[in-house]
Chain A
């Protein structure tokens, strides 16, 4: 009897006829979807790797020269627009993500309190995140419009500004405006994840700190933060990878302008591949972005991933 109970489901039941175990049945059901996804994913990825080793320009037919790492060398040594885009991406990610995390954390703290109307607040705070990205970008483009934008109107009315500002047209303010809009859109993600993490912290631990003489600050530092470290790591990881690949917001708002002030890696790669028709170079850029994101992810996991069993 014992042996029957311990038998794992992988083992076949020996009997006459053709039998499938539970796992095998499941795999067979899922196989069309698996095969389909595999082909759809793998073929383009392999193509990108292959194309990056060739000099391919879509406007020239039948002349795909094998250049090995020539594309990569060209990007690293001769392409100063790539490095401007890289710098802008770093600035964007380095400012937007920490700010989103901090503000998201504070707001999640507030939402964690037992206020009566917190349901309404939670819904309200989710709204920016559920707005389609292009719609949000166009909406903000109107708000920040020089002549007829609400922001300029209000700021000049209340005296914050003496004259309307060309938010998206001046190099200094363009990137900051884009960062602000991204913060507006993505902070709810942090609120969501961090709040979920906070809700799983047992209340007794807070009370334990109170008994030991700690105030609310000590409660947060010693109880809450260590226990939601996992949530923080996951959300940071996801957000950093997304922020590094930001495309739709910038392409719709400024098209990478003015004069490349908001050009980021994704928009530059898109332009190289689809507007200048240089598939080989664009593929090489995509791989460089991939490598950077992989390195960042590994760094994150190593830095914050150690689970203490305190």
Chain B
């Protein structure tokens, strides 16, 4: 009896020990590689994720390592997780990251939280960059990040469908009036069942889309003015929303499903010939001209037609910033300057189609041959607007998104929807 119980006890203790040590081991594996003793010429760079990796990156990083004799460790995170990883790392004041990527939408909160270290004035010539990029990444005159890639919305149309409707593919719409009349000609209901087989225009009416914001800017309106007053219910914006809604409900040149369509749904309709013109993101150009695309060569890309301004589009960007808590700031600053230099941006544009933030790159001869849409991109980007640069930007956009959905749904008139939105935003911002 004695021996059996002793053995029993030993087995139990051994098992408990094994289980505890196993759980220790597994939790160890979850931790990131410890940057225990970082030599002073190495950097940790948090980057976009595998889908952005193309040969140009390798070329650039190796160029930097060779020039400065440094070594760069890259941590990749998928775009959806970058924000969470950044917030948790920076809120913990960790010195793990030396250079990070930041979306323009995160700038107000990161800067107000003191996460980012301002960049030295001497290395930046602001005139070289797009205005919207400088505006997005600076506060009170100081630059907190260097803009690297930019994104904007464009209008795409099917040249073959233009020709079929008797329109000249080389004379794209330039104003709202053009857009409407072209769309009306391009909306075709052959079997007269009330549902057109081909729609003239398509936009994304989801509250998380940016399409209405572009119509708003095209009419000279905005959500907040330069002083930060709420002007989302000004007459220009109401007029823009009325036009936006009329395209769908009154003129019926836009499919009713736009209230729930994602940009990818629009692109699919566009490729299938169900929608002749769409407002979408630059990836449509690349996808439509891929080697296996049935509409290769039949697509044109133009800046959005304007109304009170010649053109307007949403400005989005990824920039490089240095966390306040990094221990390698000098080297990080050199890295940032290298990556956002003219040569660096040109390599990435040619290799992966990432639109640069430096204006001159678009006019480079090598670029013009490989990227035929470079001049179109530049023209649109010169008229690009930033979304509100306030800390509560996500919620502000959600409130405006709700307003245009209510207007599209005809639950409220455009004026009422925007008045309610203005009241809600004022309430939100005054706290």
Contacts and interface: CB of A to CB of B under 8 A. Distances in A.
Interface of A: 15-20, 25, 28-29, 31-32, 36, 57-61, 78, 145-147, 162-164, 166, 168-171, 254-255, 257-261, 271, 275-278
A258 B195 contact: no
Nearest to B13: A28
Interface of B: 1-2, 5-6, 8-9, 12, 15-16, 19-20, 23, 87, 91, 108-110, 112-115, 193-195, 206-208, 255-257, 259-260, 269, 274, 391-392, 394-395, 398, 402, 405-406, 408-409, 411, 427
Which residue of A18, A147, A257 has the most chain B CB atoms within 10 A of its CB atom? Answer: A147
Contact of B391 (A60, A162, A259): A60
Contacts of A254: 260
Contacts of A171: 409, 411
A61 B19 contact: no
B408 A25 contact: no
Contacts of B113: 59-61
B125 to A, nearest CB: 31
Contacts of B394: 275-277
A276 B392 contact: yes
B2 A15 contact: yes
Contact of A259 (B109, B269, B405): B405
Contacts of A261: 409
Contacts of B206: 255, 257
B12 A25 contact: yes
A271 B398 contact: yes
A276 B23 CA distance: 35
B259 A16 contact: no
B392 A166 contact: no
B208 A164 contact: no
Contact of A163 (B9, B15, B19, B193): B193
A277 B393 CA distance: 10
A283 B114 CA distance: 25
Given A59-B113, A170-B409, 6 more contacts: A58-B87, A169-B256, A257-B207, A258-B405, A259-B406, A259-B411
Given A15-B1, A171-B409, A258-B408, A163 B87 contact: no
B375 to A, nearest CB: 34
The 8 closest A-B pairs by CB, nearest first: A59-B109, A146-B257, A259-B405, A61-B113, A276-B395, A259-B406, A169-B260, A169-B259
Contacts of B112: 59-60
Nearest to B195: A163
- Describe B's contact surface by its main secondary structure: helix
A201 to B, nearest CB: 44
Contacts of A257: 206-207, 259-260, 405
Contacts of A271: 398
Contacts of B391: 57, 59-60
A67 to B, nearest CB: 12
7 contacts: A15-B2, A20-B8, A59-B109, A163-B194, A255-B206, A271-B398, A275-B394
Contact of B12 (A16, A29, A164, A259): A29
A166 B2 contact: no
B195 A18 contact: no
A76 to B, nearest CB: 16
Contacts of B408: 258-259
A251 to B, nearest CB: 12
A238 B16 CA distance: 35
A18 B406 CA distance: 73
B91 A61 contact: yes
A61 B114 contact: yes
B311 to A, nearest CB: 29
Contacts of A145: 257
Nearest to B403: A259
B260 A168 contact: yes
B395 A146 contact: no
A106 to B, nearest CB: 33
Given A258-B260, A258-B405, A146 B255 contact: yes
